[in-house]
């Protein structure tokens, strides 16, 4: 097994992101009465805790996402910290204009938890894959995408401490493995290096960090020393970490459970193009919709979308080949 950073404590067992979110949100809400749970005909992290301890801080808006966004803006304007939870297509997609006009323009302190990803029984309508690409251009919005329960807890804590609008993307995916130790340091805007590499660097976000960790075993057996960078903060990107990885390995592979158009890969590619042109291969959903499928560790949609460890390993080798060809041309 590859040698990882001291804050990496990999265990091949499910690490449920919702559990991490619930732990952080209920702990914060117990101390801060400004935190309001805004529901949109959906559940909420820590719903039972809110019902038992402060039902007056729960507001059910039903399937009226535009109204919820404007109401949250009003609450934030009065000093509250509203958290809206739903599928990303609903709480953000359906209220896109209201969020832009009523929340982001004034940088109101509203938090969004939006669920999406290529997997899950609901299919095309609910398992959207374009959330990162559609929200990255929005000014004043921080975007987080945690990889396991520990990072989800840390990201939610940081989200609630940050003053301003934040979208935390909760992925529809098979359960990720446990990756991080409980003392993981977390800062918004900072990538985390799980492993330094020599031949290439994988930059992964969210669930795809699980697949990237598994891919490292394959690559190590093939004699390749590959680095792994966790990009939990999608916006703002950690430009310095991206450039450092490119300088060290000269080959970058990005991995995300979402469309490659406008997503993490495009963001990383833009940083490299402006600062240090480097061979890059983007792993993610191509120009197509998500599909319905069972959510299990051996989900058939992994193979369909090319998101397995084996697929990542092939992409890494492709990127290394690009690097070597470029070096020969320069000679």
Q: For each of the domains in the chain, give its residue range(s) and CATH number, in order of start.
A: 17-180 (3.40.50.970), 191-330 (3.40.50.920)
Q: What is the mean pLDDT of each run of 10 residues along the chain (331 residues)?
A: 88 92 98 97 94 97 96 98 96 97 98 91 86 96 98 98 98 91 97 97 98 97 97 98 98 97 97 97 94 68 91 98 89 71
38 in Cβ contact with 170 (< 8 Å): no
Claim: this prediction has a pTM higher than 0.85 = yes
Joined together, the tokens standing for residue 322 give 């690009």
In order of 73, 95, 96, 184, the CA distances from 105 in angstroms are 11, 14, 12, 33
Q: Tokens 């067992």 map to which residue? A: 13
Which pairs count as long-range contacts for 274-277, CB under 8 Å and 24+ apart, including other chains? 275/239, 275/243, 276/243, 276/246, 276/247
What pLDDT does 302 receive? 87
Q: In this predicted model, what pLDDT tens digit does every residue of 29-83 receive, in sequence order? A: 999 999 999 999 988 999 999 999 999 999 999 999 999 999 999 999 999 999 9
Report the distance separating Cα 153 and Cα 157, nearest Å.
6
Beta strands in the chain (DSSP E): 8-14, 35-39, 58-60, 81-87, 111-116, 142-144, 166-171, 177-180, 192-195, 200-204, 226-230, 233-235, 252-259, 280-285
Map tokens 């609630």 to a residue.
160
Specify the pLDDT at position 327.
Answer: 86
By the 8 A CB rule, do 329 and 149 touch? no
């Amino acid at each position: 097994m590859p040698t990882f950073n001291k804050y990496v404590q990999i265990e091949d067992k499910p690490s449920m992101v919702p559990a991490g979110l619930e732990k952080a949100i209920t702990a914060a809400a117990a101390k801060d009465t400004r935190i309001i749970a805004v529901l949109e005909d959906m559940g909420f992290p820590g719903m039972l805790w809110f019902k038992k301890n402060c039902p007056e801080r729960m507001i059910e808006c039903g399937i009226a996402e535009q109204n919820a966004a404007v109401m949250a803006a009003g609450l934030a304007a009065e000093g509250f910290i509203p958290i809206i939870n739903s599928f990303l297509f609903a709480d953000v997609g359906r209220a896109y204009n209201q969020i832009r006009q009523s929340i982001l323009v004034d940088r109101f302190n509203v938090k969004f938890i939006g669920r999406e990803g290529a997997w899950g029984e609901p299919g095309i309508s609910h398992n959207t894959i374009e959330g990162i690409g559609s929200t990255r251009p929005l000014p004043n919005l921080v975007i987080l995408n945690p990889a396991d329960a520990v990072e989800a807890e840390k990201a939610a804590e940081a989200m609630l401490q940050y003053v301003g609008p934040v979208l935390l993307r909760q992925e529809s995916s098979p359960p990720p493995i446990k990756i991080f130790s409980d003392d993981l340091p977390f800062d918004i805007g900072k990538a985390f290096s799980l492993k330094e590499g020599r031949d290439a660097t994988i930059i992964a976000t969210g669930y795809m960090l699980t697949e990237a960790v598994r891919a490292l075993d394959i690559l190590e057996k093939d004699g390749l020393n590959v680095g792994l960078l966790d990009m939990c903060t999608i916006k703002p990107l950690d430009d310095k970490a991206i450039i450092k990885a490119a300088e060290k390995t000269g080959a970058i592979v990005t991995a995300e459970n979402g469309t490659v158009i406008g997503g993490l890969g495009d963001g990383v590619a833009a940083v490299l193009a402006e600062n240090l042109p480097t061979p890059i291969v983007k792993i993610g959903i191509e120009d197509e919709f998500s599909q319905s499928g069972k959510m299990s560790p051996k989900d058939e949609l992994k193979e369909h979308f090319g998101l397995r460890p084996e697929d990542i390993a092939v992409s890494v080798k492709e990127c290394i080949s690009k690097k070597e060809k470029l070096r020969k041309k320069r000679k």
